[in-house]
Structure 1
Amino acid sequence: MAAPITHIVLAEKVFNKYFPDRDKKQFYVGTSFPDIRYFGGIDREKTHFSGLTLKEFVNDDSFIAGVKFHSLVDILREKYMRERGLYSLFPESEFLTQAAKVFEDRILYRKIDNWKKVVTFFNDIQEGELKYDLNRVDIEKWHSLLRNYLRQPPNTDAVIEKYISDMGRPKEMADKMISVLQNIKQVDVATKIINDFYDNFESLVDEKPVIGLSVV
């Protein structure tokens, strides 16, 4: 899976081309919604899909199209990063993949100029979110987490610590992720892989994803 900033950045990259008649706010909230599962209360299978292609959901309503786009991004991203060897550039850690995703968010954050507007998309709950039999309080907590995280790139220890804390995870996890980020073997190579994925994303979205690829 990708982290929150990457999901928004890739939605922004293709929204006008593939979803010009959809509501941008609902689409972005939808594409950010599936990872609410980390709060518990909903099974991954209800918000994540395998074997998707863009043409299968391009005509769905704005929120659902966003939800399904999330899965497409997760699968294409994981396949690309494994093939390019991104994870091999990070030191071994139980939280290597989480740290790599935060690094990716750092690199891609600059691709959007008006994050202030994006943050406002999460000021209220969308009707589509209420159809998943979730506690309204948990949806509000998820929106608060996203607003806090999206306001700035995750370039500081404090931002990472806040993000991990808001996810309900221990500070030890944040500390280990920060250590990984401080010891990337080849930052320039890792940065190029991420920028190449962004640049080539439109050419990837119509390819058939690998069904059954493990995405966490």
Structure 2
Amino acid sequence: MIVSFIPFVVQAAGPIMHVALGERWLALYAPQYTEDEKKLFLLGTVFPDIRYLGVIKRSQSHFKGVTLAKVYESNSPFQRGMLFHSFVDEYREKFVRNSTVEKQFVEVPRHLQGTFLKLVEDQIVHDRQDWAKFRMFLSSIPEEEKIYGIDIQSLTQWHTGLTVYFTTLPSFILTQVSLFDRGILTLDAPTVKLWSTLLPRYATDPKMQKYVDELFLSFEKTLTRKSA
């Protein structure tokens, strides 16, 4: 299923947020990277969530207590990306806990508000950047992904799904799925249909736009402070 990779864990950032923040890390910590090294780093930032396809254990792709220093100390661009993924998840989790943003989602059950927030974030950031280069990066599967023993069919499914996700808005994907009266993983069909209309509404809300701006500003301050 094309959308089966969409993350459904409360504390995890979405693919678009991971790549957007990863580009900011590259600009500050690795401006000397070649295009191929940038590709490997950014693919590494999203690769850990291939676990949603059921082909790898979370313990193999996610790490606890990752610092920016640990990310920088790694010699491999791809491994740096994977470590950065865990750093972003933990950083974002703390940021969300300290905010009251989820309380705005009055139509969404409490246990699903974290999932909905991730999709709102990705919807907003999707519209702010051009993803053509990253989609080009997704057109091939690096050797670094193959060493995890994942079959080529699953790796291809992962890259194809991400290509779709970085091509069209999350709300459009939900709309397409709702046409067939289908659910997605933990979301039943009625929820998918409701979210397909709620998502664009919240993504254009000035309060949500401000929340995303503040998240990026806070993250960039952390990057700058740690690199000083």
TM-score by length of 2: 0.79
Q: Pick one of 193, 196, 220 that aligns with 1:178.
A: 196
Residue 40 (structure 1) shift: 0.1
Over the residues paired in the alignment, what is the CA RMSD in angstroms? 2.8
Alignment partner of 1:196 out of 176, 189, 214: 214
Please list every run of 5 or more consecutive structure 1 residues that lacks an aligned counterpart in the other structure.
Answer: 209-216
Q: Which amino acid aligns with 1:36?
A: I
- Counterpart of 2:139 (choices 123, 134, 138) is 123
d(CA) in 2 for partners of 1:57, 1:33: 15
Q: Distance in 1 between matches of 2:53 and 2:177?
A: 13
C-alpha separation in 1, matches of 2:46 and 2:135 = 12
Higher RCO (CA < 8 A, seq sep 6+) = 1
2:25 alignment partner in structure 1: 14
* Contact 1:90–1:180, Cα closer than 8 Å, also in 2: no
Alignment-derived partner of residue 105 in structure 1 = 122
Matched pairs, number: 204
Distance 1:178 1:9 in 2: 23
1:83 maps to 98
Instruction: Read off the aligned partner of 1:126 and give its amino acid letter.
Output: P
- Distance apart, 1:9 and its partner CA: 0.7
Q: Cα offset for 1:199?
A: 1.8
Cα distance, 1:21 vs structure 2? 3.8
**Any idea what the Cα deviations from partners look like across 1:158-188, whole Å, max 9, x if unmatched?**
32355899x963662522533653775x932
Tell me: CA distance 1:182–1:147, structure 2 relative to 1, closer, same or farther (3 Å). closer
Q: CA deviation at 1:39?
A: 0.4
Percent identity between matched residues is 30
Kept in 2, the 8 Å contact 1:53–1:206? The answer is: no
> Deviation at 1:69?
0.5
TM-score normalised by the chain length of structure 1: 0.83
Aligned partner of 1:52 among 66, 69, 72: 66
Gaps of 5+ in 2: 1-11
**8 Å Cα contact 1:107-1:191 kept in structure 2:** yes
2:85 aligns to what? Answer: 70
Distance 1:127 1:39 in 2: 19
Runs of 4+ in 1 over 4 A off after TM superposition: 161-165, 205-208
Which residue identity lines up with residue 23 of structure 2 in the other structure? Answer: E
